[in-house]
Structure 1
Amino acid sequence: MIVRCCFSLLFVAHLLGSLASAADRPNVLLICVDDLKPTLGCYGDSIAQTPHIDALSKRGIQFNAAYCNQAVCAPSRNALMTGLRPQTLGIYDLGTNFRKGAPDAITMGQHFQAAGYRAEGMGKIYHRGHGNGDDAATWSVAHWNPKGPGYQLKSSRANPKTSKGKTRYAATERAEVDDDAYPDGQTAGEAIKRLKAAAGRTDTPFFIAVGFVKPHLPFVAPEKYWKLYDAAELPMPTVTSAPKGAPSYAKTNFGELRNYSDIPSKGSLKPATERELIHGYYAATSYMDAQVGRVLNELDRLDLRDNTIVVLWGDHGWHLGDHGMWCKHTNYEQAARIPLIISVPKALGGKPRHSHALIETVDLYPTLSALAGLPAPEAVDGIDQSAVINGEQDSLRDHVIHVYPRSNRIGRAIRTDRYRLVAWESTKKRNPEPTDYELYDYEADPLETRNLAGDSEDVVRELRTFLTQHPAPKPSIASKN
């Protein structure tokens, strides 16, 4: 109790000491997107219809080597908001709140509040569900969530499937409805209201976090976004089996997708089903892009863009049938690589461009703090990458690290410009099993068709030195509950 009281007093003192200069600081608009891999025009996807995110890229720094810290919603979002990796928190699951691992963590929203910002959140920022919830201390006002239904058609709810106490319906839906019929349209509308209100508070900068759910399952979107794509021209996976020589447990069985009523509970998917899912993913991405456009257009209309840092961040990637896999939940490139675009006001420096600097999600907290002129957050795993954004440095990291757990193992992955090494370390306290390794060379084998660990011992040895630079991962808190 005494520790918490002292922490609160220090936080208030920091807040009061920062108010005088708050009005001079830039605003921050943080746009978070669920399950978005770089299937975007600006990332070279010739099929994707994403004009609004593409336009944002032309006004910002597009990071082409950005990676999540774990390819699942809650741990990835914890990393964003706390600057702490999953292995630092000891939280790798959906249901454990980050405060169980770091009760006194100062989140990014709290840090900006301490500098005089009004912090507001809407839509999906933290993971909500599976017993987990929001963090009230992060926001100046209560977090807002849309209430609209996820489906618009009765046919989508036919033949429901119940699994683990949850009822699921169709994996896709296309309906002749307006954008606001689905939750992301409502979130965009709320963000527009918040921006209008913020424009009237000229002495208070804003930190507004807007979370869009699509293209997360189910792939639902208004019909007009489905019509943007010719199903026959959609890119289908070319590598349809797991990497040769990889541990059998390294792949995902895409159980998340199998929960939906029109997806078989086991076995491979029919080609028509695969094409429908890929179509739905692209349609949902275009629908989300349109909502991003509505918010950014309002930012421009209110003449706020020249004093606002805009960030578009995807929480993790997604397997679209590659390696015979669907969903996220792996350490492979398709699950771990994310889109990240940061647009800064001209006064903060940094010309719009593509950057190949390695960056991970935990870097966003210290980077945005530096760009806004805030003190560096304490005790975070991320590093400040503002020098890359303003052009002073080409890159700051020689590797990034991410993780994924499996039963009795945790896979720690080191990704460099060329390689990814995954060390699958036993978590058994008694009779631990030997560590298994995966190694992929993205110059020679960009599609990860073969595990090279057994043939490239020198490279494995070199990349293992990066692992020694990081603390051992904490055991899962969830496993103790």
Structure 2
Amino acid sequence: MIPPPVSVRLAAALAVAALAVQPAGVAAEEPDRPSAAGRPNVLMILVDDLKPALGCYGDAVAQTPHMDALAARGVRFDAAYCNQAVCAPSRFTLMLGSHSTSTGLYGLGSHLRQALPDAVTLPQRFAAAGYRTESLGKVFHIGHGNQGDPESFMVPHFKDKVIEYVAPENVGGPITREEALFGNVMLDRIGQLPRGAAYESPDVPDDAYADGRVTAETVRRLRDAKARREAEGTPFFIACGLARPHMPFSVPQRYWDLYDPDELPAAEFVEAPDGAPGVAIKRGGEINAYKPIPDGGDPEPGSELAKTLVHGYYAGVSYADAQVGKLIAALDELGLAENTVVVLWGDHGFHLGDHGIWTKHTNFEQAARIPLLFAGPGVSAGAATGQLAESVDVFPTLTELCGLPTPRGPQPIDGVSLVPVLKDPAARVRDHAYHVFPKQRLGRAIRTDRYRLVEWIDHRVPEAPALLELYDYRDDPLETRNLAEERPQVVERLRATLADYPKPLKPGETPAQAAAKPAPPMTRAEIAAGLEAHD
């Protein structure tokens, strides 16, 4: 039987939820859980390409007073990692609670509903519990042939630009490569289009760019949400996505003026790690879509161009910070702060010339590590934790914080709830983080407090030996040397951890296709558990 369209299935699910009957894939309400009227609101703030270049994370240069103030209200995760360092897949992991290796959603152009037609995303879970769900700005990735997931939210998405110019010298010409990619137009001739400017700094107000407009609209939606809650008792789930500091660094002049170019940090180690496999290294890529970066190359370390790009990134961070300040101020002014859970999440990190790499798309620390802040009811104030965390953990954490049933699918739920850590930052719920990046090989990584192991496997040649990386962040935080051959016992231990994860889907493979194959061999943990059961 052919299932009805996703939008029809969602509408039906929400209708039965309103009658206190849960949709398929959503557990029944537990008797001791509060009704929707008694639950806290949720404001998710998603910031594109934001690594922990924030004052609250110890960056002495970053001018981020508003994110720092938000951190002071709640819990800061100092060891949080994305599950894949590129926009669309990272946002899928957040909204599904599923690793890329569980869904096959590895690409910018991956389509969620083609891979998982019956998935219940994080906002859908909240809608089924009586919340009004809305999205603004860059929430799901839209572009590169991807339309995001319109079915996830109850009202039409408020979309604005990611690639934007307002300086006179950068407007009025033909569409640029990145404008076309993010506009889902001319996708068959991207290489024939001109490159856009890598940065601009006109003297304009915040709302000259999309993030200012998205923030202003989110504030208006918060006012409406307060009135709706007072009249109807309906809590809100609002996701607000900010585009900066994603390139181009198109940011109002006053945010550039916050920084002295001579005081900005420069990459300390600009070479590939000694002994790293070639597949781990990135050269060029996204950065080459912009001028004046050398076409097909990278900025020279220490060059004026490299310094300007670092300046633009920090200006973008401060511009995003100002928008966060407006959102938190609105919560305070409207009297919503005490009953609203706020999450601030960066979708992945960003290379600024370290290892000679720019932007993201790697398994290295600068691409994988992210800021993650929680504040609001049920969250300790003014605390920091070294608990390792992943993007997939946000889904079960928010459902538990807000009194919703524990998510159990229908998609794989790979995250764990961080609520014990939000209540006691010394608590621990996992001993490692897992992430992945697909290139010619698939690189799966285990990050512990001290080490990162990356195992690169070749799906095309299953019998080919894996390529391995091992980095010791206690003794070598800049990843200058691959230690995989020197520390075989550490490699063996971390590969055993990796072996306990389900077999990864191949790029382009859907869960349904994988399920139709013969069952894979049992993992070591499954064999051990079976032996114990028969002892």
- TM-score normalised over the length of structure 2: 0.85
Partners of 1:209 and 1:238 lie apart in 2 by 36
Partners of 2:269 and 2:123 lie apart in 1 by 41
Give the aligned partner of residue 299 of structure 1.
331
Give the aligned partner of residue 467 of structure 1.
498
Go from structure 1 to structure 2 and tell me whether the alpha carbon gap of 1:134 and 1:321 turns closer, same or farther (over 3 Å shift): same
Letter in 2 for 1:17: A
Partners of 1:118 and 1:10 lie apart in 2 by 14
Partners of 1:389 and 1:256 lie apart in 2 by 36
* C-alpha displacement of 1:344: 1.9
1:18-29 matched pairs, under 5 angstroms: 21-29=35-43
Go from structure 1 to structure 2 and tell me whether the alpha carbon gap of 1:331 and 1:38 turns closer, same or farther (over 3 Å shift): same
Partners of 1:441 and 1:413 lie apart in 2 by 14
1:359-438 matched pairs, under 5 angstroms: 359-379=389-409, 380-391=413-424, 394-407=427-440, 409-428=441-460, 430=461, 432-438=463-469
1:211-250 matched pairs, under 5 angstroms: 211-250=241-280
Give the aligned partner of residue 527 of structure 2.
none
Give the aligned partner of residue 200 of structure 1.
227
Partners of 1:252 and 1:142 lie apart in 2 by 37
Contact 2:384 2:425 (8 Å CA) reproduced: no
Determine if the alignment matches structure 1 residue 16 to structure 2 residue 19: yes
Deviations 1:132-159 (A, max 9, x none): 0132221111010126971111223579
SS in 1 for 2:239: strand
Give the aligned partner of residue 443 of structure 1.
474
Deviations 1:156-177 (A, max 9, x none): 3579875435543110100000
Counterpart pick for 1:65 among 79, 88, 97: 79
Contact 1:159 1:169 (8 Å CA) reproduced: no
Give the aligned partner of residue 180 of structure 1.
207
Q: Between the two proteins, what is the percent identity of the paired residues?
A: 49
Contact 2:270 2:354 (8 Å CA) reproduced: yes
Counterpart pick for 1:35 among 45, 49, 55: 49
Contact 1:351 1:390 (8 Å CA) reproduced: no
SS in 2 for 1:53: helix
Give the aligned partner of residue 253 of structure 1.
283
Aligned residues: 476
Contact 1:4 1:104 (8 Å CA) reproduced: no
Give the aligned partner of residue 321 of structure 1.
353
* C-alpha displacement of 1:208: 0.3
* C-alpha displacement of 1:4: 5.3
* C-alpha displacement of 1:377: 1.0
* C-alpha displacement of 1:15: 4.1
Letter in 2 for 1:469: D
* C-alpha displacement of 1:436: 0.4
Give the aligned partner of residue 483 of structure 2.
452
Bigger shift: residues 372-381 or 388-397: 388-397
Counterpart pick for 2:191 among 164, 175, 183: 164
Partners of 2:290 and 2:471 lie apart in 1 by 33
Ranges in structure 1 where 5+ consecutive residues have no aligned partner: none
Go from structure 1 to structure 2 and tell me whether the alpha carbon gap of 1:441 and 1:99 turns closer, same or farther (over 3 Å shift): same
Ranges in structure 2 where 5+ consecutive residues have no aligned partner: 22-28, 178-189, 514-535
SS in 2 for 1:473: coil
Determine if the alignment matches structure 1 residue 264 to structure 2 residue 267: no
Deviations 1:93-143 (A, max 9, x none): 100111222111000010000110000000000000011013222111101
Partners of 1:148 and 1:331 lie apart in 2 by 24
Letter in 2 for 1:151: Y
Partners of 2:203 and 2:360 lie apart in 1 by 29
Partners of 2:104 and 2:44 lie apart in 1 by 26
Deviations 1:375-420 (A, max 9, x none): 011131111111111118621111111000111x100000011100
Go from structure 1 to structure 2 and tell me whether the alpha carbon gap of 1:281 and 1:149 turns closer, same or farther (over 3 Å shift): closer
* C-alpha displacement of 1:432: 4.0
Give the aligned partner of residue 524 of structure 2.
none
Contact 1:149 1:183 (8 Å CA) reproduced: no
- RMSD value over aligned CA atoms? 2.1
Contact 1:243 1:451 (8 Å CA) reproduced: yes
Letter in 2 for 1:64: D
Go from structure 1 to structure 2 and tell me whether the alpha carbon gap of 1:11 and 1:467 turns closer, same or farther (over 3 Å shift): farther
Contact 2:203 2:254 (8 Å CA) reproduced: yes
* C-alpha displacement of 1:13: 2.9
Counterpart pick for 1:124 among 138, 159, 170: 138
- TM-score normalised over the length of structure 1: 0.95
